[in-house]
Amino acid sequence: MEMHTDRLVLRDYTVDDFAAVHAFASDPRIATFVDWGPNTEHDTRHFLDTCVTSQTVLPRTEFSLAVTLPGETPLGSVGLTVDEQHHGHLGYVIGAEHWGKGYATEAAACLLSYGQEALMLERIEATCRPANLASAKVLEKIGMTLEGLRPNDKFVRGTWSDSLVFVVIRN
């Protein structure tokens, strides 16, 4: 699977992406507001193995895509998971040295459109921690609406954390 935006190519991972993925996923800066990482090498291998396996499942329910500049190695990741209710769950991470260039917005908008138009998902949700202002901004910029706050939604590194819930409903 491969999709193009103005600046980016979103494509399926291969195991050859290990070094580039591990470079951003093992960076402590990206783990502040997510419930995974910083990755060990084993974590990154497991992530890539899971991605590659999910590409062959039909119907496909996991769309973890490498965010790349044309011809370059991954600089981040964007993902859409379809649950048993046929609802989508969107997420993303961008390598810290590339923050603030609009890449998360561009990649997430593209996968959101794919979920709505190609997969015909009625509801797509994304969550972020209330303190993750950059992520909340991305979700607003791609047209998602703040639905509410889910208290004590995630237990991360020994602490319960609230989530802001953003949604987009297909008309």
Ligand X SMILES: CC(C)(COP(=O)(O)OP(=O)(O)OC[C@H]1O[C@@H](n2cnc3c(N)ncnc32)[C@H](O)[C@@H]1OP(=O)(O)O)[C@@H](O)C(=O)NCCC(=O)NCCS
CA distance between the termini of the chain: 26
CA angle 59/64/65 to nearest 5° reads 115
**99 touching ligand X, by CB under 6 A:** yes
Residue placing its CB nearer to ligand X in the complex, 79 or 171: 79
Name the E strands within the chain.
2-4, 9-12, 62-68, 76-82, 88-94, 123-128, 145-156, 159-169
What is the nearest approach in angstroms of ligand X to the Cβ of residue 56? 27
CA–CA distance, 12 with 34 (Å, rounded to integer): 22
- Shortest Cβ distance from residue 26 to ligand X (Å)? 13
**Helix residue spans in 90-151 (DSSP H):** 103-113, 133-141
Told to check if 19 binds ligand X by CB under 6 A, we report no
When asked if residue 150 is in the footprint of ligand X (CB under 6 A), the reply is: no
Question: Which among 10-18, 52-60, 115-123, 127-135 is the span making contact with ligand X, rule CB under 6 A?
Answer: 127-135
With CB under 6 A as the contact rule, which of the stretches 1-9, 28-36, 38-46, 53-61 interacts with ligand X? Answer: 28-36
Exactly one of 1, 118, 133, 169 binds ligand X (CB under 6 A); that residue is: 133
Q: In whole angstroms, what is the distance from residue 106 CA to residue 5 CA?
A: 7
Can you tell me which of 3, 55, 87, 102 binds ligand X, judged by CB under 6 A? Answer: 102
132 binds ligand X (CB under 6 A): yes
Q: Which of residues 40-59 bind ligand X (CB under 6 A)?
A: none
Cα–Cα distance, 95 to 108 (Å, whole number): 15
> Which span (8-16, 45-53, 95-103, 146-154) binds ligand X, by CB under 6 A?
95-103
**The two three-digit tokens of residue 118, written as one number:** 């190609």
Query: Where does this chain bind ligand X (CB under 6 A)?
Result: 30, 33-34, 91-94, 99-105, 128, 132-135, 137-138
